Amino acid sequence: LAAIKVPRYVAGHDLSVTASLGISIFPGDGEDAVTLIKKAETAMRNIKDSGPDNFCFFSNTMNQRAREQHSIESGIRLALERNEFVLHYQPKLNLKTGKVVGAEALIRWLKPGQGWLFPSEFIPVAEDSGLIVPLSKWVLREACRQTCAWQAAGLPPIRMSVNISATEFRQRGFLEGIRTVLEETGMNPELLELEITESVLMQNAESTIQILQAIKHMGIRLAIDDFGTGYSSLSYLRRFPIDVLKIDQSFVRDLSTDSNDAALVSAIISLGRSLKLNIIAEGIETQDQLDFLKTNHCEEGQGYFFSRAVEP
């Protein structure tokens, strides 16, 4: 690792490279090259999460994890064919009027023999394997279809929010995919809102701006999800065409007991208001939290206090 890390002078630039090193040991981990390399690779994948410039020895629990991932992966493929995914919808309310103004689509997997699986149990695997792309396409289409179905049934129009993961955002064909879904479902783009986390916005800022502007051009709204947890630089709020700040639930949770969180939440609300952004607080569970948010002029809210994510 140290040898690789030494900067090299190439064409007028100092270039430095870091490595991730997976290690397996003969004969304990395997007696032939193929097995040893495979296990070294498994060990290497394990460190990628903790950042580059690191090493890791293979252990058997990793193999088990890899097998579990593989089984979830093939499960997701089958589930897409068999229509085992469903969307539940959590209402978003205007805190002043108490009216439902929107809904967030949250994916669930009704797996035969296992019952309901929540996103944390399969979204990370879907992201690692690239299956997030077909999965998200399905989510977007289904959320738009449902919004149109509600309107066709004579309900007042509401905004529909869909979560967009990092891999999806960076995917070639992401924008075309959205365009196609809008056309095919007849969804009014002004009713569609995409929720993106701060970390997605911070990677590779130049291409990010272009993608965001193209989304805005289509008439779609953009929300920053989990606001306050991702990044310390606030300058991007000026640069990016954002409509909504969604205050992360971790700040809302301790509102009534932690004065730091209360200070942060009211600061985020003022910041958002002066930048003319829409502010929504998520994870509202109690009357106290709601009271605080109302007093501090937070416009919208979402949380178990009003409703969990429910069937259409």
- Interface with ligand C2E by CB under 6 A: which residues? 90, 105-107, 118-120, 123, 136, 139, 163, 165, 195, 225-226, 249, 283-285, 303-304, 309
**Residue 163 sits in the site that holds Ca ion (CB under 5 A):** yes
DSSP letters of 143-179? HHHHHHHHHHTTPPP-EEEEE--HHHHHSTTHHHHHH
Cβ atoms of residues 97 and 295 within 8 Å:
no
Which residue's CB is nearer to Ca ion, number 75 or number 283? Answer: 283
Nearby residues of 34 by Cβ (< 8 Å), 6 or more positions away: none
| Least distance between ligand C2E and beta carbon 79 (Å) | 13
DSSP 115: E
- The residue (of 44 and 143) whose beta carbon lies closer to ligand C2E is 143
* Helix, strand, coil % in the chain, rounded to nearest 5: 45, 20, 30
Contact, 244 vs 222, CB < 8 A? yes
Q: What angle do CA 182, 218, 102 make, to 5 degrees?
A: 65
Provide the minimum distance between the beta carbon of 284 and Ca ion in the complex, in angstroms, as a whole number: 12
Q: Are 52 and 18 in contact (CB under 8 A)?
A: yes
Query: Which one of ligand C2E, Ca ion, none is in contact with 283 (Cβ closer than 5 to 8 A by kind)?
Result: ligand C2E
Closer to ligand C2E by Cβ: residue 226 or 299: 226
What CA–CA distance (Å, rounded) separates 126 from 32? Answer: 32
Write the binding mask 206 to 245 for Ca ion: x where contact by CB under 5 A, - elsewhere: -------------------xx-------------------
* Binds Ca ion (CB under 5 A): choice among 29, 142, 193, 195: 195
Residue with smaller CB distance to ligand C2E, 123 or 191? 123
The minimum distance between CB 75 and ligand C2E, in angstroms, equals: 17
Give the interface with Ca ion as residue ranges (CB under 5 A). 163, 195, 225-226
